Structure 1
Amino acid sequence: MIEGRRNTLAVLATVAAAYAGFRYFPDLGSTELNFEDVQDPRGFRRLSAGESSSGFDLFIGMNAMGPDSLAGAEARVRTDICGALYGDDLPETQVVPVAFFTEYYCPYCRVQTRTLAVLDARRDSNLRVIWHELPLLGESSEVAAKAALAAKRQGAYVAFHERLMRSSFVATPEYLQALAQDIGVDYDRLALDMQSGSVARELENSAALARVFGIFGTPALIIGRTIIQGQVDEKTILRVAEMEIEEDWTSQCQTA
């Protein structure tokens, strides 16, 4: 009787674990990745998987600038999609850029950040992560994004980003000042840069890219020429990266 009950519990536990794995990491059970070509921008494709958090206003950081700025930002990034996504210094063919759209109060982003940070730091990695701030969940999200981009001007983006991701605090001026002091960032300069035109432009560009690629929540990835909406595991990221290398992702950036 007792042994039978134990076996039943073991079976139920296995089923529950399998369900949880399918629910949160749907790609683990998949033997084939299915892509859908997108019409705009041409040459890119979409792989939908995983969980994401969406906000009340996808373009909160841009709306205050007015419709002219919205149109201007989109036109700007469309002139050089790969440059806007990955920066002007594109990696070589055997290294795949990963544009990561993230937001500080998205729980799935925290998991995705840890996965990408580990992959990006590996010596044998063929990935290079480019971080895009996409504040979707209100004013505090936008303040945190501006603070991280301002810290970037002092060479402290990664440290600031990681601390904000781990924090349970709202990004108040008091908290940002304490954080800046803790990691050796000049807070007075940080506060000024948060209001600068260059930070606003960077947020505009990321939001415009989200509009162009149909990104409606965070986290979202664009690996080479593959768009992924939602959190995915390390195995899927590496599989897509390998495919991008085999299929020469750089050809897209030469013709985009």
Structure 2
Amino acid sequence: MMEKLSTTLLVICAVIVTGLLVRRELQPSDAASSAAEPVHVPEWQGYAAAGARMGPADAPVTIVVFSDFQCPACRVLAERLKTLRADRGRDVAVVYRHHPLRTHPHARMAARASECAGRQGRFEAMHDALFQAQSSIGTRAWDDISKEAGVGNLDEFGRCMKDAEMDSILVRDAAQAKQLGIDATPTFLINDTRLVGAFPLATLNRHIDRALRAARR
């Protein structure tokens, strides 16, 4: 009886600990939380000038996301931004910038894979495929994920994955992340407003409405 009770308590404790770890991953770090209030970034257009654009070039609202393909909160935000783009049509575009965290050992290679898919016009499809495969990143072959993303030339993709030039993209994005004082993912700009975390759709919509009003003045 005592042995059964001990086993039950261990299972309960394991569930609680797992829940706390998941919750921590889905929220900004403590360092980020203190800076999570919206911050005005007057030079925001410079951050939107580079990166992979998903959406129209003339969208009045551009969301520049510094993200990490192994970050659970980034996956949540990516899903919400996809919904927003579908709802908002040509009013909203997303620009993806890389900020792979050191705590995520495969994030840099995932970033490289997205850029290599982008060379074949499949960045957005690879972006979506990487987030959908997040739990298996690092255990599956990059070719397998690229096939799901519709990358046509796998030989070219493989050569690109070994191309040292791809590191320059990560260096560029890291420098701009540093300029913005980014220490957590996802950090993103909605035009000139910087935010940190996977905000609910209602909050994102409020910020987009504000940005639209300002853009149309």
> Normalising by the residue count of structure 2, what TM-score does the alignment of the two structures yield?
0.70
Query: Kindly tell me: are residues 119 and 198 of structure 1, through their superposed partners in 2, closer, same or farther at Cα, counting changes over 3 Å?
Result: farther
**1:235 counterpart residue number:** 202
Q: Which runs of 5+ in 1 are unaligned?
A: 1-19, 25-33, 46-77, 251-256
**1:160 counterpart residue number:** 126
SS at match of 1:139: coil
User: 1:112 pairs with 77, 96, 107, which one?
Assistant: 77
**2:193 counterpart residue number:** 226
Could you report, residue by residue, the CA deviation over 1:125-158 in whole angstroms, capped at 9, with x for unpaired residues? 5211111122113431111110111001111112
SS at match of 1:104: coil
Structure number with larger C-alpha Rg: 1
- Contact 2:70–2:104 (Cα < 8 Å) also in 1: no
User: 1:96 pairs with 32, 49, 61, which one?
Assistant: 61
Query: Kindly tell me: are residues 182 and 237 of structure 1, through their superposed partners in 2, closer, same or farther at Cα, counting changes over 3 Å?
Result: closer
- Contact 2:60–2:92 (Cα < 8 Å) also in 1: yes
SS at match of 2:62: strand
- After superposing on structure 2, the runs of 4+ consecutive aligned residues of structure 1 that deviate more than 6 Å are none
Distance in 2, Cα, partners of 1:140 & 1:36: 30
Residue 131 (structure 2) pairs with residue 146 (structure 1): no
Residue 181 (structure 2) pairs with residue 209 (structure 1): no
Query: Kindly tell me: are residues 214 and 86 of structure 1, through their superposed partners in 2, closer, same or farther at Cα, counting changes over 3 Å?
Result: farther
> Normalising by the residue count of structure 1, what TM-score does the alignment of the two structures yield?
0.60
- Contact 1:97–1:224 (Cα < 8 Å) also in 2: yes
SS at match of 2:95: strand
Distance in 2, Cα, partners of 1:178 & 1:35: 39
- Contact 1:98–1:127 (Cα < 8 Å) also in 2: yes
Identity between Structure 1 and Structure 2 (%)? 24
SS at match of 1:128: strand
Task: Tell me how large the CA RMSD over aligned residues is.
Answer: 3.2
Distance in 2, Cα, partners of 1:249 & 1:109: 29
Could you report, residue by residue, the CA deviation over 1:26-64 in whole angstroms, capped at 9, with x for unpaired residues? xxxxxxxx7444xxx6x269xxxxxxxxxxxxxxxxxxx
Distance in 2, Cα, partners of 1:176 & 1:169: 11
Report the more deviating stretch, 196-205 or 140-149.
196-205
**1:126 counterpart residue number:** 91
SS at match of 1:122: helix
Query: Kindly tell me: are residues 249 and 91 of structure 1, through their superposed partners in 2, closer, same or farther at Cα, counting changes over 3 Å?
Result: farther
Query: Kindly tell me: are residues 139 and 224 of structure 1, through their superposed partners in 2, closer, same or farther at Cα, counting changes over 3 Å?
Result: same
Distance in 2, Cα, partners of 1:132 & 1:124: 21
Distance in 1, Cα, partners of 2:183 & 2:160: 28
Distance in 2, Cα, partners of 1:148 & 1:206: 14
Query: Kindly tell me: are residues 82 and 143 of structure 1, through their superposed partners in 2, closer, same or farther at Cα, counting changes over 3 Å?
Result: closer
Residue 191 (structure 2) pairs with residue 247 (structure 1): no
| Number of matched pairs | 180
